[in-house]
């Protein structure tokens, strides 16, 4: 039996979420659920969640007025106005935990093979590559955008239907315990960790804290679940060792069971390599540039191999991958200028990967202009990481460097201390200022790199440049 919205009753969900029906009918049919009162569709449950800046309990009346057939609220909530008499009211101890519990119930009701992906860098690209391979033959569910947290992952699982045979789920974290809980909810058949890097340090304290948080996957995945790790990441492998799990490794190193050999940089046309695994060799061609994307392709291939996908599907799926908006995307501008749009997010490791990949493109191009936004959630390493970022720009040999954000000055100082000409480095205060300065100085054949943390919003600069 599958969990099918429109056939699921209030009675069925009460047990897995440990809820109590205090008003309404147990036989009521549920057409779905929403955690946002603005998006409620008549017949859905409204699930009241409490966030840092909002409390869904404040919007119960709005949801009911929009046609919510029922509400899920915390036990200690005392509404000033009770919903209409035909509204099903379910109380639970913790609405966030209950959401995850229902998602686990829903996942177990479907005979779908699930792969989960976590790690500091490359999760989303690996997810998209993997879904591109698995989806060639069977209907495959994946997270939309970055719905990869304790709310987004359950909402993704609720989209499962009897037509799905595979699911590829990205799992993010910024606190200890989150990967463990997400793994419990997803109950994966295959779990992969891309790497460990300096990201979300505020929540976990250090890079070792990041590693310990990521390997919670190994603690919670079932005993017959397959574990895939980036074997080139020494810290990850060291922290995973005590779990005594059977691990399959992938990476560029010769000791990995799934690895890339004979890598050829094709510039803006992408990269090619031989995929080697268990005595097999497959020629792979990626249409996107960057050594980091070779590693992402290896990760996706490792999942596909674990799920018994054919070599032809791996080749076809990777060859057809066109990249993800805002993640090292090459965008042609006027006068043979190329924008490298990597604005989606940034941390020290992903910035280094972007700079290294940019070096592969520079030889056949003109000058390089770099616009960086600050990197967030780095805790005690904030200042040193931003100085290091500036040093990377200097080592790249960029022509001009613009930096934006609270720690922009640290980036500029880091570049100048490594010999970057101070007259060609500038702190900017707004997206408009960065965009206009780049337009002012760019010339035929230039490469322009834009990269910064999500909340800095450098995609606005990208839009300014695309409008030229």
> Residue 266 contacts by C-beta under 8 Å, 6 or more apart in sequence?
272, 289
DSSP 149: S
Q: What is the pLDDT along the chain (468 residues), one digit of tens a residue?
A: 578 999 999 999 999 999 999 989 999 999 999 999 999 999 999 999 998 888 999 999 999 999 999 999 999 887 766 666 778 999 999 999 999 999 999 999 999 999 999 999 999 999 999 999 999 999 999 999 879 999 999 999 999 999 999 999 999 988 899 999 999 999 999 999 999 987 766 666 688 888 899 999 999 999 999 999 999 999 999 999 999 899 999 999 999 999 999 999 888 899 999 999 999 999 999 999 988 999 999 999 999 999 999 999 999 999 999 999 889 999 999 888 999 999 999 999 899 999 998 888 876 557 999 999 999 888 888 999 999 999 999 999 999 999 999 999 999 999 999 999 999 999 999 999 999 999 999 999 999 999 999 899 999 999 999 886
230 three-class SS: strand
| pLDDT at 3 (0 to 100) | 83
**Does domain 110-319 correspond to CATH entry 3.40.1190.10?**
yes
Q: Which CATH number fits domain 329-466: 3.90.190.20, 3.40.50.620, 1.10.1040.10, 3.10.20.30?
A: 3.90.190.20
State the DSSP H helix or E strand holding residue 156, giving kind and residue range, or none if neither.
helix 152-157
pTM, two decimal places: 0.92
Radius of gyration of the chain (CA): 24
CATH topology of domain 8-94: 3.40.1390
Sequence-ordered strand ranges (E) for 278-358:
280-286, 329-332, 338-342
Q: Would you say 160 and 112 are in contact if contact means Cβ atoms under 8 Å apart?
A: yes
Sign for the pseudo-dihedral over CA of 229, 222, 113, 177: negative
| pLDDT at 53 (0 to 100) | 86
Spatial distance between the Cα atoms of 259 and 94, rounded to a whole number of angstroms: 44
Spatial distance between the Cα atoms of 410 and 390, rounded to a whole number of angstroms: 8
Spatial distance between the Cα atoms of 173 and 369, rounded to a whole number of angstroms: 32
Cite the residue boundaries of each domain of the chain with CATH code 3.90.190.20: 329-466
> Parallel, antiparallel, or unpaired: how do β-strands 139-142 and 164-170 relate?
parallel
Cite the residue boundaries of each domain of the chain with CATH code 3.40.1390.10: 8-94
DSSP 84: P
Cite the residue boundaries of each domain of the chain with CATH code 3.40.1190.10: 110-319
Query: To which residue do tokens 């880091």 refer?
Result: 414
Spatial distance between the Cα atoms of 108 and 368, rounded to a whole number of angstroms: 51
- CA–CA distance from 101 to each of 46, 155, 275, 327 (Å)? 16, 12, 39, 33
Of 22, 144, 38, whose CA–CA distance to 92 is shortest? 22
Query: To which residue do tokens 């949801």 refer?
Result: 63
DSSP 77: -
Spatial distance between the Cα atoms of 290 and 228, rounded to a whole number of angstroms: 22
| pLDDT at 194 (0 to 100) | 97
Q: Would you say 387 and 416 are in contact if contact means Cβ atoms under 8 Å apart?
A: no
């Amino acid at each position: 039996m599958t969990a099918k919205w429109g056939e699921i009753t209030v009675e069925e969900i009460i047990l897995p979420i440990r809820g109590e029906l205090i008003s309404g009918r147990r036989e009521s049919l549920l057409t779905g659920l929403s955690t946002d009162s603005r998006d409620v569709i008549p017949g859905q449950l409204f699930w009241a969640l409490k966030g840092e800046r909002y409390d869904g309990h404040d919007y119960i009346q709005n949801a009911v007025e929009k046609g919510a057939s029922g509400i899920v609220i915390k036990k200690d909530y005392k509404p000033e106005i009770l919903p209409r008499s035909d509204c099903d009211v379910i109380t639970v101890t913790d609405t966030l935990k209950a959401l995850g519990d229902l998602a686990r119930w829903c996942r177990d009701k479907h005979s779908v093979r699930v792969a989960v992906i976590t790690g500091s860098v490359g999760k989303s690209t690996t997810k998209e590559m993997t879904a591109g391979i698995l989806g060639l033959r069977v209907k495959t569910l994946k997270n939309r955008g970055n719905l990869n947290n304790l709310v987004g992952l359950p909402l993704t699982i609720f989209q499962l239907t009897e037509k799905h045979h595979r699911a590829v789920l990205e799992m993010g974290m910024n606190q200890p315990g989150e990967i463990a809980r997400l793994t419990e909810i997803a109950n994966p058949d295959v779990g992969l960790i891309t790497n460990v890097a300096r990201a979300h340090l505020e929540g976990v304290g250090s890079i070792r804290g990041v590693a310990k948080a990521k390997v919670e996957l190994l603690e919670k995945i079932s005993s017959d679940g397959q574990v895939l790790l980036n074997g080139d990441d020494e810290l990850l492998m060291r922290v995973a060792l005590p779990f005594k799990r059977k691990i399959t490794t992938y990476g560029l190193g010769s000791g990995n069971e799934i690895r890339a050999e004979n890598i050829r940089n094709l510039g803006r046309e992408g990269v090619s390599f031989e995929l080697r695994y268990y005595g097999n060799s497959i020629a792979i061609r990626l249409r996107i540039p960057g050594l980091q994307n070779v590693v992402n392709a290896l990760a996706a291939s490792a999942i596909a191999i674990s799920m018994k996908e054919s070599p032809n599907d791996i080749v076809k799926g990777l060859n057809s991958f066109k990249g993800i908006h805002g993640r090292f995307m090459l965008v042609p501008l006027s006068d043979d200028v190329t924008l490298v749009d990597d604005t989606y997010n940034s941390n020290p490791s992903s910035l280094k990967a972007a700079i290294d990949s940019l070096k592969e493109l520079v030889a056949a191009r003109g000058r390089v202009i770099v616009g960086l936004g600050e990197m967030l959630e780095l805790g005690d390493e904030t200042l040193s990481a931003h100085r290091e970022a500036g040093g990377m720009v200097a080592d790249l040999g960029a022509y001009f460097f613009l930096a934006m954000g609270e720690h922009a000055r640290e980036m500029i100082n880091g570049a100048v201390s490594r010999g970057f000409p101070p007259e060609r480095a500038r702190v900017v205060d707004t997206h408009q200022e960065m965009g206009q300065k780049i337009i002012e100085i760019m010339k035929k054949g230039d490469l322009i790199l834009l990269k910064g943390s999500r909340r800095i919003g450098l995609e606005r600069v990208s839009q300014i440049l695309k409008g030229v």
